[in-house]
Structure 1
């Protein structure tokens, strides 16, 4: 019997660079290239599951995961964040150099298509939380020249640009103020440079501030439907409608915290709940505006999925829900390539 290759998936968010960086292992790059025990993604598991590429995030954890008097995580200072950002960017470039063509850092959609076409992992350099970029924005322009193509102004903490939505359940995302003056400058600069702006981790006021200001499609790379899971990180129906109206995209987060109606971090969570969020958003705003944003290596995913090698199980769950081949191609990678093309080249 001939086995079929898995459906190629281009994913909106992973934290594999942070996992490798935090491991402190001298052979961490070799482990990613040749396979390892921990985490969700390495190249062998990506190939086995059809994970053809995605946005590889640079995220700098809060120092000591400390919080302020309001219970918000503290942002790292700009020099420290920039140093760590450069270290993780170098890590991605080291992986590319040592991969002998098996991973490519992509700067446009043609790069992504070329890499996917020959079975290489199509990696896009992404920053989650722009603490490395000072209010003068000098670092933004340099990082763009180095390959930065997508950016989330905040993680779930305040910084000089905006107020990231805290992790709360049950809660709406309507927590805190929106963009600062520096944040408005950042959005304008991202539009100028054609850097995709990621709305995941934005609070609601920040979301609407960006919606008014940005000329690009609205994209939330790894956020789910608030109607199904009342977590502050999820998107309200009104936010989903705005994403549709700009030709944007919502990438479904695999994290159980953002899937379950009870908000419990329980890995014994059926993939049917993940399919529920895909179906809800597709029904609400159309199949052209939903993709996948796993949050692999950054969150707790369902045990039934386990890691990147388990992605065919998710594809099977979506097909069982009634998504045909055309719809599955859009969800798996077509919608991401379209919205990135509109943002980078439109």
Structure 2
């Protein structure tokens, strides 16, 4: 090949290589732009996804708050899952065992004192509001230790603050059905008709339940058994009753009563027998011959003065001593 041809070939070869390099550079640049665009797209997508996730999370958070508030309101008024409800009106014995209403008291293994496996006497106990079966079991043991008696509970189930208070109002007005009232009335009637004495203790709403049940027993003796007023009251004299911070204002004559009222407790002070003796309170009637022990134990939180074990049980004296009006411990 002549020199000119060689020169032309060199020029062509150099030009082709330059073009190839240019194409490579341009191609790389285009690829970089594509990659950057794709990465940018991914970042935009991630941002959008993140925003959607945040919005979804916020919505779930609001939903949880609203749902939680709704559940709280529902539970306050007794709706939703109320696990204690299934025990309402049941008889409660040792180790948290429950027994259906109508079970003979002699067939129920009661809670015994810690230092006496064979007590000779039995106490029935009705709890107040906001008390689960497990909490009542603790009270049964405290009563057994304090009295030296075998103790059986009649469970007043809790279904939330609102529902419990609404039931108190109905108990106060003697309206509606309360399973604990029915169970207690049947147990009291069965025992005294069989000639057996009964010792009943009640706290808070348990006092209302006891008042209703005792009235039911009296009416049953009068109507079903045809007893005279005096005979019915005489038979009910086989029932000894102790109330603690009870919300009941009146009790039927016949049973032997001892009522404990802490003046620092707003429940009996406002809704029960009140902070002053019956003779000065025209609407209060603790039952004929009742003994009412007013004492002073004030707390920064007034409702701490309503506690059963921490306040009332420690101010209790033996029943016979209390009936003599001697409350010195």
- TM-score over 0.5 (shorter chain): no
Structure showing the higher helix proportion among its residues = 2
Q: TM-score, normalised by structure 1?
A: 0.35
User: Per chain length, whose mean CA-contact separation is higher, i.e. which structure has more relative contact order (CA < 8 Å, sep 6+)?
Assistant: 1
Q: TM-score, normalised by structure 2?
A: 0.36
- Rg comparison, structure with higher value: 2
